[in-house]
Amino acid sequence: MTTIEANFDGLVGPTHNYAGLAEGNLASAKNAGLVSAPRAGVLEGLAKAKRLADAGLVQGFLPPHERPFIPGLRALGFTGSDAQVWEAAARRAPVLARNMASASPMWAANAATVSPSADTADGRLHFSAANLLSTLHRSIEGPQTARALRAIFPDETRFAVHDPLPMQAAFGDEGAANHVRLCAEHGAPGVELLVYGRDAFEHWQGRFPARQTKQACEAIARRHGLDPERTVIVRQSRAAIDAGAFHNDVVCVGNGPVLFFHEQAFDDTEAVTDAIRASAKGLFDPVFVEVPEAEVPIGDAITSYIFNSQLLSWPGEDRMVLLAPKETEETASTRAYCERMVAGNGPIGRVEYADVRQSMRNGGGPACLRLRVVLTKTELATVNPGVMLDDALYAKLTAWAKKHYRETLSPADLADPALVGESQRALDELTSIMGLGGDFYSFQRG
Ligand code: SUG
């Protein structure tokens, strides 16, 4: 096989905590104020990634961002040493400080939208770093994400990394979480499905914000040079957003020709399946696995995160594997659905469960933690090898996490001025482990 799909997981950062920052994300609201376990969080993520690497899948990492984000606080008038900036911000503007301390870049599905070279006009693989402007704590991620992608995919003859879309509400973009690529096989041209919550020019009255706009989807398709015939831009259902599906990947996941989704995921399901069939004509026959509300109520879909699973072509297996969060096994309706599904003769033959509870409590399942990048063999050969997971990197990262990460972090601990130096030392060491250079983070550039 000359083209593979690699998963790049966001490494959970040292400040992982529960601050209740994400409106419309029910888990984030419910768990606000809990004591987090950053070390357990990063180890859970590493174990999930290792499982895929051990199965023979290609696995890499995206590095955490610097948090607390001191440059963000300096821009808002805080002065002094980094520790003084943090101490003053945590004391005088605690909510603002919490927004600058989130480890949210761990949710790599929101890092960027990715179009493989088989789909683009110039034959390069295109990334658009997401602007994530709907939430304050995530709106600071885009520039560092673009820097990371350029450090990992440096060959400009093969990769194009676009900066985030303009930071205007009309262009709200949350990356690959609202994007699905369907295809016969990874290396063949595919159909790119982009899903938005609202039109920027309509009045939005939903219960929760709709984070992705139609205009952002259209801009990304243009920037990536996607063939309009092979691009489908559709609307998420209002009911799904109201029920807590703040990204489409909370109710939908795809792999190869298969789209696995909840009955209430889309505004007009028939229009979506018709459009995909028309776009796929001559390339492949799409396979739709629609989960009825009567079997899995939308509320269960969201608490269990059954759709926020990784749907994988597993080496050596004929049917696909769904790597779901443990919560899917613990929710009666979704466990029963999975049992029936694998017993049938559909495209998904096995379900595995992963413990990513630290991330799940903030609304991030297995699919949120990874960014999928389809790479030809030649493209893969140019990827920065320092971020690619093998046994040696796994051992190094595990030891690194155990050395630097706190076991627990309470909301009060977050104000500790020592957290800044601790986190910077961890990330500084990480740049040498991953070969990212000594000027990757702003604190390294002075
Ligand atoms: O953007 N949670 C993230 C979860 C992102 C999940 N990603 C995907 N569905 N692809 C979000 O809502 C919570 C942070 C806090 O409350 O502390 C948070 O940002």
Which atom of ligand 1 lies at the shortest distance from residue 177's CA?
Answer: 10
Ligand 1, atom 2, residue with closest C-alpha:
362
Active site residues: 174, 247, 368
Q: Is the CB of residue 362 below 6 angstroms from any atom belonging to ligand 1?
A: yes
Packing angle of the helix pair 391-404, 38-54 (nearest 10 deg)? 180
**364 C-alpha to center of ligand 1: Å?**
6
Q: Does residue 45 contact residue 9 with C-beta atoms inside 8 Å?
A: yes
**168 C-alpha to center of ligand 1: Å?**
20
Candidate from 96, 104, 358, 359 with most ligand 1 atoms within 8 A of CB, to mutate = 104
Q: Is the dihedral of CA 203, 205, 206, 209 positive or negative?
A: positive
pTM (2 d.p.): 0.98
Q: Is the CB of residue 110 below 6 angstroms from any atom belonging to ligand 1?
A: yes
pLDDT at 1: 60
Q: Is the CB of residue 212 below 6 angstroms from any atom belonging to ligand 1?
A: no
Ligand 1, atom 1, residue with closest C-alpha:
22
Ligand 1, atom 7, residue with closest C-alpha:
368
Q: What tokens were used for 245?
A: 């599906």
Domains (ranges, CATH) in the chain?
A: 3-67+102-445 (3.75.10.20)
> How far is the C-alpha of 5 from the C-alpha of 322, rounded, in Å?
15
* Residues 6+ away with beta carbon under 8 Å from 169: 133, 200, 213
Q: Counting beta carbons within 10 angstroms of the beta carbon of residue 150, is it exposed (0 to 12), middle (13 to 18) or buried (19 or more)?
A: middle
Q: Is the CB of residue 114 below 6 angstroms from any atom belonging to ligand 1?
A: no
Ligand 1, atom 10, residue with closest C-alpha:
368
Nearest to 203 by CA among 169, 163, 237: 169
Write the single-letter amino acid at 318: D
Nearest to 372 by CA among 127, 114, 195, 146: 114
Q: Helix, strand, or coil here: 351?
A: strand
**362 C-alpha to center of ligand 1: Å?**
6
Nearest to 163 by CA among 313, 87, 171, 430: 171
Helix, strand, coil percentages (3-state) for the chain, rounded to 5, are 40, 20, 40
Which atom of ligand 1 lies at the shortest distance from residue 28's CA?
Answer: 16
**5 C-alpha to center of ligand 1: Å?**
24
The dihedral over CA atoms of 243, 235, 215, 156, expressed in degrees to the nearest 10, equals 90
**141 C-alpha to center of ligand 1: Å?**
12
Q: What tokens were used for 183?
A: 């295809």
Which atom of ligand 1 lies at the shortest distance from residue 29's CA?
Answer: 16
The helix (H) or strand (E) run that includes residue 322 is strand 320-325
Q: Is the CB of residue 250 below 6 angstroms from any atom belonging to ligand 1?
A: yes
End-to-end CA distance of the chain: 45
* Residues 6+ away with beta carbon under 8 Å from 109: 175, 176, 177, 247, 249, 367, 368, 369, 370, 371
Order the strands of the 112-115 sheet from edge to edge.
Answer: 112-115, 125-129, 159-162
Q: 284-316: string of b/e by CB count within 10 Å (b at 16+)? A: bebeebebeeeebbbebbbbbbbbbbbbbbbee
**368 C-alpha to center of ligand 1: Å?**
8
Candidate from 23, 28, 361 with most ligand 1 atoms within 8 A of CB, to mutate = 28
Which atom of ligand 1 lies at the shortest distance from residue 19's CA?
Answer: 17
Nearest to 279 by CA among 183, 374, 186, 214: 183
Q: Is the CB of residue 109 below 6 angstroms from any atom belonging to ligand 1?
A: yes
**25 C-alpha to center of ligand 1: Å?**
7
Candidate from 247, 359, 361, 372 with most ligand 1 atoms within 8 A of CB, to mutate = 247
Residue 352 β-bridge partners: 323
Q: Does residue 199 contact residue 238 with C-beta atoms inside 8 Å?
A: no
For 58, phi then psi, to 5°, come to -90, 130
pLDDT at 446: 85
Q: Is the CB of residue 20 below 6 angstroms from any atom belonging to ligand 1?
A: yes
**427 C-alpha to center of ligand 1: Å?**
21
- pLDDT in tens for each of the 446 residues of the chain? 699 999 999 999 999 999 999 999 999 999 999 999 999 999 999 999 999 999 999 999 999 999 999 999 999 999 999 999 999 999 999 999 999 999 999 999 999 999 999 999 999 999 999 999 999 999 999 999 999 999 999 999 999 999 999 999 999 999 999 999 999 999 999 999 999 999 999 999 999 999 999 999 999 999 999 999 999 999 999 999 999 999 999 999 999 999 999 999 999 999 999 999 999 999 999 999 999 999 999 999 999 999 999 999 999 999 999 999 999 999 999 999 999 999 999 999 999 999 999 999 999 999 999 999 999 999 999 999 999 999 999 999 999 999 999 999 999 999 999 999 999 999 999 999 999 999 999 999 98
Residue 290 β-bridge partners: 261
Q: Is the CB of residue 176 below 6 angstroms from any atom belonging to ligand 1?
A: no
> How far is the C-alpha of 367 from the C-alpha of 251, rounded, in Å?
11
Write the single-letter amino acid at 138: R
Order the strands of the 320-325 sheet from edge to edge.
Answer: 310-312, 320-325, 348-354
Q: Is the CB of residue 13 below 6 angstroms from any atom belonging to ligand 1?
A: no
Q: Is the CB of residue 247 below 6 angstroms from any atom belonging to ligand 1?
A: yes
> How far is the C-alpha of 94 from the C-alpha of 65, rounded, in Å?
20
